[in-house]
Amino acid sequence: MKRVLIALEALHSNGVVHRDLKMENLMLENVNDPSSLKIIDFGLASFLNSPSMSMRCGSPGYVAPEILRYSSYGTKVDIFSLGVILYNILCGYPPFRGNNVKEIFKKNMRCNISFNTKHWLTKSENVKEIILWMCSKNPDDRCTAIQALGHPWFLPKLTDMHMASNMNELANKDMIMQKTTEYDMCKKCKHYPIENNEKGNNNNDIIQNNQNSINDYKKYHDTMLKIY
């Protein structure tokens, strides 16, 4: 999410508005590298000084209220859409839902965001606060990309540093890309890739090494849950 905000700041500072940010328009260039996240599909993008900046456009559920009011708008329509994406990522469904497009647009206009489901019980007040700020109905009350990056939820945490320390330790021990021959313990931990071992370790060593890898992955996973 930080990378997207940084990208938006670069766009906005150059007078460019995407106007159609949604889950489908954020893609990983490399599925194994979260830092390769890219914004795609600039088909509706426009310069701030363009006459098209009063055009009604965007995707249901993601579009900012000011666009639906047929009024002129600015870069903060992208911030609104990104707030919707953040909400969606954290709970698995969008904040504005309906049985048809018309219902969804109405909810976009009202801009009432609720955290009253079980999925939000374990989420921090900080993340709820930043979502509400990013999705403010009035664009004057909405944060910019730079302001969002300065919010406590996006600032480094002690747990971030702890996680980085753990990951450096794992990398030094060559545990992140464990190599095996016959046994693939990755089936229990499918996002922790293990390649074939060319050194010919015996089976007992392979099993023990893979079990260590799984335990280290669980430690990393638990750390991530504490952060996000």
Q: Which 8-state DSSP code applies to residue 135?
A: T
Q: Which 8-state DSSP code applies to residue 154?
A: T
Query: What is the CA angle 56-57-58, rounded to 5?
Result: 145
Element (H, E) at 26: strand 26-28
Q: CA 78 to CA 26: how far, in whole Å?
A: 13
Q: CA 192 to CA 52: how far, in whole Å?
A: 46
Q: What tokens were used for 82?
A: 């990104």
Please identify which residue in the block is written with the tokens 């903060």: 76
Q: Which 8-state DSSP code applies to residue 32?
A: T
Catalytic choice (20, 78, 140, 141):
20
Name residues whose C-beta falls within 8 Å of residue 136's C-beta, 6 or more positions apart in sequence. 80, 111, 142, 143
Residue 27 half-sphere exposure, CB side, CA atoms within 13 Å? 5
Please identify which residue in the block is written with the tokens 């997207």: 4
222 as an active site residue: the answer is no
Residues annotated as part of the active site: 20
